[in-house]
A and B are shown apart, each in its own frame.
Chain A
Amino acid sequence: MSAVKIGPLTLHTNAIGWSEASARGFGQSEATGIEYPAVVTGPSGLEIDVKIFMSDTGEGMVHCPDLSGVPADYGRLAHGARLGVYTLESGDWAIKQLRLLRFSPSKGWGNPTRTSLEELDRLMGSSTVELLASLGMDDVGSRTEVLGARGDDLAVRWPTTAGPELPLACYTLTRVLPIHEALS
């Protein structure tokens, strides 16, 4: 149970725990796994329902599963823009591509593209590394540094004992916050 400040937004989790669930988003098939719900709040009464889902096969995502849990201006979040989460061979969890949503208020749309820690720091107004470290992160940096994989995208790795807040915070930072800032 926690309340994590991410710029002007706050990510809330409670003690409900992981529960069995199913979700679409992996091809067209429905996957079974576990999920943990949360809510993001912000200025002017903003409330957005989010979830992390981890499938039995080790692929997962943070997403807004239900359009009714998202204000109209933030509707993009209920149409994709998911953040992929994966179980590594070591048993750790990782985000292999931490990308930033580039949102256009006039189009009401945007897509995630490559970002940097410096850009995320500017967006949030504080240190991304410190935030993620406080939530149990093992490593953040380029895919090469963190995962030994090719590519310049940011990646994050953490032990499963870190709890659901870390990936949920990454989603809040790279999906919800850019829309909030674009609309402000």
Chain B
Amino acid sequence: MKRIKLLLVVLPLLVMVGCAHPMVISPRVEELPVENKVKVDKVVGYYISAANLALNVESPGGGGDRLAYHPYKDIEGALSKILFNIYKDVYKLKSKTDPKELSEKKVTYVFVPKVSTTSSSPSPFTWPPTDFSVTLDVHALDSSGKQLWSSEVRGEGHAEYEQFKDDFQLAARLASKDAFIKLQKEIEKSNALR
């Protein structure tokens, strides 16, 4: 009985402390567009540094709590997916400028993303974000490292309690889905990336 009383005292105290809630911000890949029937006949790669893949970011949630996630690790699947939608083959690269790797894999363009996020919730009671944004600042380089193209897209997601109660990361998933749909369109309309 003493243990139960102790738990009842300790647990609410722990809840009150502004803690970090691990979550993912990846979109559901099956909700992204399907592969184009006619693809650009080129092999492309993307480069995300090991430091960025391991990067853990914290941003505000509701009730004074924080959200914790790995933005680059979380968006990698979606980035690969939209590149496969457009191009005939896609590689994850160990370096963005290693001529040997680029030559062996016959990579024509190297995409390098920079991810930034914002989050918020007006709720004093629940930690999941009601509003989330994902900004993708993507540069494309040729095999010599020269920048051919760049674009910045911002995706936004909004989810109220009734919507996120089954998926606490819903606003983030919607934001990254929105960002990647916009990014695919930007790449598709670029003549430099044909």
Answer whether A and B are interacting partners. no
